[in-house]
Structure 1
Amino acid sequence: MNWKNKLEHWLTHLPPDDPLRKELENHLNPEECFYKDLKFGTAGMRGILGPGTNCMNVYTIRKAVAGLAELLTEKGEEAMGKGVVIAHDCRHMSAEFALESARILGMYGIRSYLFKELRPTPLLSFAVRYLGTSAGIMITASHNPPQYNGLKVYGEDGAQLLPEAAGHIVREMDQMESELYFDPPTEKELLQRGLLTYIGKQIDNAYLNALASTRLQKGQKDVTIVFTPLHGTAAPLVRKGLTEAGFFNLTLVKEQMHPDPDFSTVSSPNPEEHDAFKLAIQYGEKVDADLLLATDPDADRLGVAVKNDEGQYTVLTGNQVGALMLDYLLKQSPFVNKGAMIQTIVTSDFGRAIAADFGVETFETLTGFKYIAEKIAHFERTAEYQFLFGYEESYGYLIRDFVRDKDAVQAAIFIAEVAAFFKRQGKSLYEALMGLFEEYGYYQESLTSIQLEGQEGAEQIRRIMDTFRQALPAHMGVVMVEDYLKGESLHLPSGEKTAIQLPKENVLKFKLADKSWFCIRPSGTEPKCKFYFGVKGGSMEESVEKLRALEAAVFRAVPVTPRNSSDFVECFR
């Protein structure tokens, strides 16, 4: 059906009292609601709340969960009997979507374990493994703006679905007649039939017990910490975890402690955005804090800010925090046999250099923590390596693998311990980072996301990828092009091609002769095209200069100039 047919179908079949009907009838641009179906990828679904097949609503949730139910049904009675655990964050409609997921599963005779109150994403991953369920569902849009919501689907290993399983769900969804035709049982009926069980504190306590394994130093720790969950889900577990680890000098950003689906005190609930630390910095200045911590709404990402050599709080990058964690971890256990560190193809080479110094092997995966989890599972099966640490540049870290997704709760307690370790030596985290730069080189990275929404935006993103794929930018000093969609790398000077042993994905990475690199990929969850950059210099000044020059050279070749990206425009000044 084209978008007009879909619109007519919805207006014909929506219940008269459904709020989405009125919203749809008054919509200024209904084509945007129906011009495509909301994509289910390996990270699940994410989109703007609203009516239509291109938005997050009860009906698109039903269709996606029905796809999962079909997958479990095909696996047989054992998979169905293990059930599915469901959690949700604080966003608009999250609780409703979580219950709706249980209703659809119940329609197929599949049992649900549902957290009645909001919980963070890493706890959902833990719960899948702890309860031994066949799958997990997390209702969240992570760090997106308030008008978004989403759904993540996890496999029985506690990791987000890989492409094969996600593709199975997509095929099941494609065969369904309409998302409006489901008639699932009520909550009361599910409870009566034993298909719905509410869960809570037991899982929390089990997670906190597992969290103790991340602690490498015991006893009370003299570190002054300011923490904010940015109106999200992390507060109870982070507070308890820090206290149990011996961190008692903890100040909470009271304005941001309570869940708020509008994230009313921040422009974006994303700890990658420095503005998200505005209130935390004010608190930090009052108490002279050593460490500022911020988690995103579903608590899988952690941001860290510390005082620089001028006494001003600066937000560290995900690459820098990962390097500090890895260095500390390896110093505390330097003789691990066949140790492995896992990072993504857009993560800094900083961690690789540190790992190599300790004889630890570095493995790279595609972007997305599901691929890191896949590698961990491979090591478990083969005993080929021992997993030590996994991280990605987008503020995601994993220290212990009882969770199989990035875990900001683990990370918050661990980086606090790193700060305590260096404070006992009379150093701040910032001074420790400068020491790592002096030892391994001055690595600098950046990320610019160009937001390109709607049909026109999708076409612009396609044009960007085609431009760089078809016209190899040799004039920038590029010597190697890695095309992950083709599954091959091309060495430009020799013309030699090599197969890339990773799943195919629409990603391009360019390596320069001086070991600098940049990477371009469309976001899998947002209407954005992402540009990653990495360089290494002999000094901070040299590396910053190299980074700016590389950014400018790349952006001059981009075939679109969006007006809504200040970072992008800045590169032309």
Structure 2
Amino acid sequence: MIKFGTDGWRAVISKDYTFDNVKIVAQAIADYIKEIDDKRPVLVGYDTRFMSEEYARLCAGVLVANGIKTYLTKKPTPTPVVSFSVKNMNLAGAIMITASHNPPQWNGIKFKGDYGGSALPSIIAEIEKHLYKNEVKFVEPENSNLFSYIDPDKEYFEHIEKLVDLNLIAKSRPFAIIDPMHGAGVGYVKTLLEKYGIKHIQIRDERNPYFGGVNPEPIYKNLGKLIDAVVQNNADIGLATDGDADRVGAVDEKGEFIDSHRIYALLLRHLVEVKGLKGGVVKTFSTTNMVPILANKYGLKIYETPIGFKYICELFLKEDILIGGEESGGIGIKNHIPERDGILCSLLLLEIMAYYQKPISQILDELFKEIGYHYYDRVDLHLPNEIKEKTLKIISQNTEFAGRKIKDIQTLDGYKYIFEDGSWILFRASGTEPVLRVYTEQFTKDEVKRLLDEAVKFIEKMK
């Protein structure tokens, strides 16, 4: 059963993610495109996962067999580069072969709208309606005059250079460790740093569909190699992107992990206070309270959405949005595309350091002194569906948790306990994996650990 989740369709390779199923999804996308726009071309991109280029080629073959002019990237290409190219080239949309941060045995298909961002829920619903509707058409793409290869990097780099002050960064002489985690982001931050003579080392840059044995998600447990490289080389910062380079993670000069919430807060402050930009601020349900604190300080409208960048994208298209971000490290910024971009966010972190001429840890500490210290962590628990459902039902009825009174339970996406001091813990079933996620933000590291430990014990009792 092919079912689209939080961001496209993902499945385990050879189990459900098969050549036949990939072509079925591509046919549904082709049918959708023919209904809405049968004149403009479509771009197909892919990441570094196992056989991603072959899956991409199959999608291209289905599109051209349906009379749709199709471009295929010459090499693994980040999702934000593909999305930017859709808007820049005035295309009807794009297919991106990726499972983003999922484990190596997974792959997937994301569809990007002609605006250069995640497919809106309404678009996904239309594509799903076309699944199995028509017989799959396929030709070898190279045999069609509707098919050609392209390399969209040059135009993307030129655009990024307009958004980031790379000359300022170069003058500040930072030393950065770049970690694309064996993903599609290999060489992208590096290319711009090399052009401006900015000192750097790139690690985990060889093609490795196993991702070196860790999920290509830039969170603390997966960034041991980056932390070690920063400390061993006396670097100023470590910058990581996920499997398709639309998410960002960072490490400070001491080797301390900087999570996505802190990155979001730093970027928001920089865009307003330094770059002088305005607009709405969007956060997903699992994202830090630091965002509304800063938005209120600047008099900016705050929006909260369910988890999934497609909801943020929808607001980018409807409203004047400055920044939108999610707990997973995906952050989109004004004057770019309505899309997450880990490459742009990495470079903006270097710009922040260059502007303040201080270590990133000191910049963060000064931010915390201004808005209060916030600490966050998450655990992912692999559970059978029946246990997940049983757990969530009980969670929905609690009035206290871990010895603390629950002031409110919010249900925008999962069950979020709001405690009397404003801190929170969220229980939510993943939309892309068989996982129950538990997220919490507290005012001390100890309380974060205690609450997550209590959550794990509570859920273990359900088995």
Normalized against structure 2, the TM-score is what?
A: 0.93
Question: Could you tell me which residue of structure 2 aligns to residue 210 of structure 1?
Answer: 159
Alignment of 1:414 with 2:348, yes or no, is yes
Alignment of 1:318 with 2:260, yes or no, is yes
Asked whether the equivalents of residues 341 and 360 of structure 1 are also in contact (C-alpha less than 8 Å), the reply is: yes
Look up the SS of the partner of 1:80 in the other structure: coil
Asked whether the equivalents of residues 112 and 197 of structure 1 are also in contact (C-alpha less than 8 Å), the reply is: yes
Which amino acid is the alignment partner of residue 12 of structure 2?
I
Question: Could you tell me which residue of structure 1 aligns to residue 387 of structure 2?
Answer: 460
Structure 1 residue 217: Cα displacement: 6.8
Question: Could you tell me which residue of structure 1 aligns to residue 336 of structure 2?
Answer: 402
Question: Could you tell me which residue of structure 1 aligns to residue 17 of structure 2?
Answer: 56
Question: Could you tell me which residue of structure 2 aligns to residue 500 of structure 1?
Answer: none
Structure 1 residue 368: Cα displacement: 1.3
Question: Could you tell me which residue of structure 2 aligns to residue 528 of structure 1?
Answer: 435
Distance verdict in 2 for CA 1:522–1:287, change over 3 Å: same
After TM superposition, the structure 1 = structure 2 runs for residues 482-501 of structure 1, keeping only pairs within 5 Å, are: 482-484=410-412
Alignment of 1:332 with 2:274, yes or no, is yes
Between the aligned residues of both structures, percent identity stands at: 27
Question: Could you tell me which residue of structure 2 aligns to residue 41 of structure 1?
Answer: 5
Asked whether the equivalents of residues 7 and 118 of structure 2 are also in contact (C-alpha less than 8 Å), the reply is: yes
**1:436 aligned to which of 367, 373, 384:** 367
**2:211 aligned to which of 232, 250, 263:** 263
C-alpha deviations, 1:519-552, integer Å up to 9, x for none?
Answer: 22211111111111122x3xxxxx2343344335
C-alpha deviations, 1:223-278, integer Å up to 9, x for none?
Answer: 1111121112213221122344x45111222xx222221223x4332221434332
Question: Could you tell me which residue of structure 1 aligns to residue 408 of structure 2?
Answer: 480
* Separation in 2, partners of 1:175, 1:467: 40
Look up the SS of the partner of 1:289 in the other structure: coil
Question: Could you tell me which residue of structure 2 aligns to residue 233 of structure 1?
Answer: 184
Question: Could you tell me which residue of structure 2 aligns to residue 22 of structure 1?
Answer: none
C-alpha deviations, 1:477-499, integer Å up to 9, x for none?
Answer: 22222223xxxxxxxxxxxxxxx
Look up the SS of the partner of 2:282 in the other structure: strand
Look up the SS of the partner of 2:345 in the other structure: helix
Which amino acid is the alignment partner of residue 443 of structure 1?
H
Look up the SS of the partner of 2:374 in the other structure: strand
* Separation in 2, partners of 1:407, 1:415: 13
Distance verdict in 2 for CA 1:41–1:83, change over 3 Å: farther
C-alpha deviations, 1:466-516, integer Å up to 9, x for none?
Answer: 2223x23346422222223xxxxxxxxxxxxxxxxxxxxx52222222211
Question: Could you tell me which residue of structure 2 aligns to residue 565 of structure 1?
Answer: none
Look up the SS of the partner of 2:218 in the other structure: coil
**1:101 aligned to which of 32, 56, 59:** 59
After TM superposition, the structure 1 = structure 2 runs for residues 509-524 of structure 1, keeping only pairs within 5 Å, are: 509-524=416-431
Look up the SS of the partner of 2:418 in the other structure: strand
* Separation in 1, partners of 2:291, 2:189: 26
Q: Which moved more, 1:91-100 or 1:509-518?
A: 509-518
Structure 1 residue 561: Cα displacement: 5.8
* Separation in 2, partners of 1:188, 1:437: 56
Asked whether the equivalents of residues 113 and 119 of structure 2 are also in contact (C-alpha less than 8 Å), the reply is: yes
Structure 1 residue 441: Cα displacement: 0.9
| Gaps in structure 2 of 5+ consecutive residues | none
* Separation in 2, partners of 1:431, 1:444: 16
Structure 1 residue 407: Cα displacement: 0.5
Which amino acid is the alignment partner of residue 265 of structure 2?
A
* Separation in 2, partners of 1:117, 1:419: 32
After TM superposition, the structure 1 = structure 2 runs for residues 268-347 of structure 1, keeping only pairs within 5 Å, are: 268-278=215-225, 280-307=226-253, 312-334=254-276, 336=277, 339-347=279-287
Distance verdict in 2 for CA 1:549–1:230, change over 3 Å: closer
Asked whether the equivalents of residues 343 and 390 of structure 1 are also in contact (C-alpha less than 8 Å), the reply is: yes
Which amino acid is the alignment partner of residue 207 of structure 2?
P
Distance verdict in 2 for CA 1:553–1:228, change over 3 Å: closer
Alignment of 1:248 with 2:198, yes or no, is yes
* Separation in 2, partners of 1:412, 1:365: 24
Which amino acid is the alignment partner of residue 221 of structure 2?
H
Asked whether the equivalents of residues 318 and 393 of structure 1 are also in contact (C-alpha less than 8 Å), the reply is: yes
* Separation in 2, partners of 1:286, 1:510: 41
Question: Could you tell me which residue of structure 2 aligns to residue 69 of structure 1?
Answer: 30
Which amino acid is the alignment partner of residue 129 of structure 2?
R
Question: Could you tell me which residue of structure 2 aligns to residue 14 of structure 1?
Answer: none
Question: Could you tell me which residue of structure 2 aligns to residue 126 of structure 1?
Answer: 84
Question: Could you tell me which residue of structure 2 aligns to residue 197 of structure 1?
Answer: 148
User: Larger RCO: Structure 1 or Structure 2 (Cα < 8 Å, ≥ 6 residues apart)?
Assistant: 2
Asked whether the equivalents of residues 227 and 256 of structure 2 are also in contact (C-alpha less than 8 Å), the reply is: no
**1:144 aligned to which of 93, 96, 102:** 102
C-alpha deviations, 1:171-204, integer Å up to 9, x for none?
Answer: 221545xxxx6351122332xxx2212111xx21
* Separation in 1, partners of 2:421, 2:88: 47
* Separation in 2, partners of 1:119, 1:231: 12
Q: Which has more radius of gyration?
A: 1
Structure 1 residue 396: Cα displacement: 1.6
Asked whether the equivalents of residues 271 and 277 of structure 1 are also in contact (C-alpha less than 8 Å), the reply is: no
* Separation in 2, partners of 1:514, 1:556: 23
Asked whether the equivalents of residues 380 and 438 of structure 2 are also in contact (C-alpha less than 8 Å), the reply is: yes
Structure 1 residue 38: Cα displacement: 3.6
Look up the SS of the partner of 2:153 in the other structure: helix
C-alpha deviations, 1:69-126, integer Å up to 9, x for none?
Answer: 2212222xxx121121110011111011101111111222122111121101101111
Look up the SS of the partner of 2:246 in the other structure: coil
After TM superposition, the structure 1 = structure 2 runs for residues 548-559 of structure 1, keeping only pairs within 5 Å, are: 548-558=449-459
* Separation in 2, partners of 1:164, 1:433: 39
Which amino acid is the alignment partner of residue 307 of structure 2?
T
Normalized against structure 1, the TM-score is what?
A: 0.76
* Separation in 2, partners of 1:69, 1:432: 48
Q: CA RMSD in A?
A: 2.2
Structure 1 residue 289: Cα displacement: 0.4
Alignment of 1:154 with 2:112, yes or no, is yes
Asked whether the equivalents of residues 225 and 251 of structure 1 are also in contact (C-alpha less than 8 Å), the reply is: yes
Q: Which moved more, 1:439-448 or 1:475-484?
A: 475-484
| Gaps in structure 1 of 5+ consecutive residues | 1-36, 380-384, 485-505, 538-542, 563-573
